[in-house]
Amino acid sequence: MRMAISQQRRVTALLGLTGDGDAVEVVASPPGESLGALETVAYSWPGHGAQANVYVFDGYSEAAAARQALSAAADRETVKIESTVNGGLLLWATAEIGDEWSEARIDGMAQRFAGRE
């Protein structure tokens, strides 16, 4: 379920990762298959507790439903979550609470992803 290159470039731009040499591609958590996503891509930053997962769905309603399901099951005691939907794309970003760099990173990504930069 690897993301097509053209879609991955769009996601990289939406997240503000263009030129971010520290971001590494990782396995999405949770996996896209468990959400019914068509494609997925995820990034993390070595030495930090942040991960950004982007899931591709047929449209907004499917992405919003997946966001609602993830939110209902989320453990917010140890993890900060930023999430937003942009068309058929769902951003689900997490950061370890207390890791200020990671918390700020996912907050900024969510704002850019939603078009509030």
Q: How many Cβ atoms from other residues are within 10 Å of residue 95's Cβ?
A: 23
- List b or e across 51-68, with b for residues whose CB sees 16 or more CB atoms inside 10 angstroms: bbbbbbbeeeebbeebbe
* AA letter at 110: A
Ordered by where they begin, the domains of the chain are: 5-113 (3.30.200)
pLDDT in tens, 37-70: 999 999 999 989 999 999 999 999 999 999 999 9
51 to 27, 70, 72, 92: CA distances (angstroms): 10, 15, 19, 8
pTM (whole model) above 0.85: yes
pLDDT in tens, 86-99: 999 999 999 999 99
